[in-house]
Structure formats: C-alpha cells, structure tokens
Amino acid sequence: MEHFMKAALEEARAGLAEGGIPVGAVLVHRGVILGRGRNRRVQLGSAVLHGEMDALENAGRQSAAFYRESTLYTTLSPCAMCSGAILLYGIPRVVVGENRSFLGEEAWLRRRGVGVEVLQDEACIALMAGFIEARPALWHEDIGNV
Amino acid sequence: MEHFMKAALEEARAGLAEGGIPVGAVLVHRGVILGRGRNRRVQLGSAVLHGEMDALENAGRQSAAFYRESTLYTTLSPCAMCSGAILLYGIPRVVVGENRSFLGEEAWLRRRGVGVEVLQDEACIALMAGFIEARPALWHEDIGNV
C-alpha cells in the first residue's frame, strides 16, 4: 500500500482502538505529512471532526498557496462536509482508500476540477465493513442518516 | 432584526472583539438555540471552525431527526465547507444575514432541497465590509483565496 494511505489507515485503526469511527486522513504537502487526523465523534463528542477535517485542523492555519500544493489522503470517500472543505481550500488532489462502504461527493469534486483517485484498498474496505456491521447506529449518526 | 439573526450577529461581534473574523451562527431546534458559534480561525488557530461549524460543534452530537427539525442562522453566506455540513446533516433551512460580501454555495444548497433565505441585513453587511477593508489578508486566508 502507498506510504501515505498507510499513514491514513494507521490513523483509522487508532480511532477504532479508541472506540471511535475508523476513518483516517493525512494532508501531504510536497511529499511531507503536515497534518494527520482521524474521526473524533466519539473521542471528543465532535460533530465536525471527520477524519479529513481533523487532518486539516491538525495541519493548522495555512495559505491557499500551501493547500494548492497539497494532496489529501483519506481511507473513505469524503462526505459533503469534507468535500466542501477540500473545495474551500482548493486542494487539487484527493486519494481515497475506498468508496464501497460510503460514496461521498466525488462527482462534485471532479466537476470542480479536483483529481480524485480511488484505490478500493482491501484493508480500508475490511476495516469499514467490520465497523459498520458492529456499530451501525454510530455509523449512521456520523453520516446524518439516523 | 429577527431574534435568531440578532444572536448570530452578537456572536460575530464577539469574534471581532477577540481579534477574529466576524462571522457568527446559531443552530435553532424547534425555536430554541441549541448551539451558538463564531469563526475561531484567529482565536484557536482553527482551519475548520467557521461560524457555522462552530455552532454545529457546540450543539454537540445529535441525531438526524434533530437536524431535520433545525434551522441554521448565519451572518454570512455559507462557504462550500459549511454548506457541505448543512447537507451532511440534512438541515432543511438556512437563514443568511447577507451574501454581498461573500457568496457561498447557496445554489448548491437549493438544488439539494435546502430552503435558503437571504436577509441582506444592513448590520451584517456593514460588519463584514468594515472587517474586509481592515483585514483583507486574514479574510482571504479564511476563504482559501491567498
């Protein structure tokens, strides 16, 4: 597995070990991880810190020039909120671990010129499938379904 | 001015007094303010806590049923990130103080069935216009422009 997706998957697994929702992400600037993150709904009672948002938050305040040289790696297809954050900051490329468990706003991202690459990585798929089967109510809360 | 927009504007003004970006929001559930928020970029070094996001965060973890009976009031037109959060959680109605200083993703929200009402409130417009004139670099950082 690609190095950066492996780092995102480590974040997702750390989240699961904390009792959280196993989605992880890393923001990579010119080949260096500047922000790592994972979904914090359970850990912090957060409604906004999905994995991608947590990675952006942990990367700190940055300029548009920084974001435009960055790639976001996320273990799961980004939802409307996370896709909106990608567009707000003009991140030009997103690498997605898988979109079988959940298909976010990839079409919207592509229409707005973001390069979206989907790996359909088996480890990412297995992690989410196992979690969704084990904790369906928590998962549906996270994506605004119940 | 409508009571809830007045509360959002109080948040925006409190943000300005802290040296922050003066955008405020409140999440209202069945006529009661459940979350108040303001842009926290300066105060917390946050890249994700726009006023709307901060209001959602302060409302805590909620069910989809809760969001579907809620209205978000925000002093400024919601950007792609905040609009995405509105769609993620299925908030059916958004009241916007003004969209002259910045036009967010109102068209996307409407296409997805969200009711968007724009007040073009003079106090909201004056607050943002004064801020953008005084702190253009900070403002453009917040919307991913520079």
**Catalytic site residue from B2, B18, B52, B105:** B52
Residue matched to tokens 């109102």: B106
Tell me which chain A residues have a C-beta less than 8 angstroms from the C-beta of B63.
141, 146
Pairing of strands A32-38, B70-74: unpaired
Question: What is the distance between the alpha carbons of residues B4 and A140, in angstroms, rounded to a whole number?
Answer: 29
Tell me which chain B residues have a C-beta less than 8 angstroms from the C-beta of A45.
60-61
Please say if the pLDDT value at position A116 is more than 70.
yes
Q: What string of H, E and C letters represents the secondary structure of chain B?
A: CCHHHHHHHHHHHHHHHCCCCCCEEEEEECCEEEEEEECCHHHHCCCCCCHHHHHHHHHCCCCHHHHCCEEEEECCCCCHHHHHHHHHHCCCEEEECCCCCCCCCHHHHHHCCCEEEECCCHHHHHHHHHHHHHCHHHHHHHCCCC
Q: Which helix (H) or strand (E) holds A7?
A: helix A3-17
Please say if the pLDDT value at position B1 is more than 70.
no
* Residue contact A63–B90, C-beta within 8 A: no
Average pLDDT, chain B: 97
Pairing of strands A24-29, A32-38: antiparallel
Please classify residue B44 by burial: count the beta carbons closer than 10 Å to its beta carbon, then call 0-12 exposed, 13-18 middle and 19+ buried. Answer: middle
Mean pLDDT confidence for A52-70: 97
Please say if the pLDDT value at position A18 is more than 80.
yes
Name the band, by pLDDT with cuts 50, 70 and 90, for residue B67: very high
Compute the CA torsion angle A117, A118, A121, A122 (nearest 10 deg). Answer: -170
3-state class (DSSP) for residue A53:
helix
With pLDDT > 90 as the criterion, what percentage of chain B qualifies?
Answer: 97
Name the band, by pLDDT with cuts 50, 70 and 90, for residue B146: confident
Please say if the pLDDT value at position A136 is more than 70.
yes
> The complex's ipTM?
0.96
pLDDT of residue A2: 86
Tell me the pTM: 0.97
Question: What is the distance between the alpha carbons of residues A23 and B98, in angstroms, rounded to a whole number?
Answer: 35
Name the band, by pLDDT with cuts 50, 70 and 90, for residue A27: very high
Strand partners, A73: A26, A95
Specify whether B52 is catalytic: yes
pLDDT of residue A1: 66
Q: What is the DSSP letter of A118?
A: E
| A82 shares contact with chain B (CB less than 8 Å) | yes
Name the band, by pLDDT with cuts 50, 70 and 90, for residue A40: very high
What pLDDT, in 10s, does the model give residues A90-109? Answer: 999 999 999 999 999 999 99
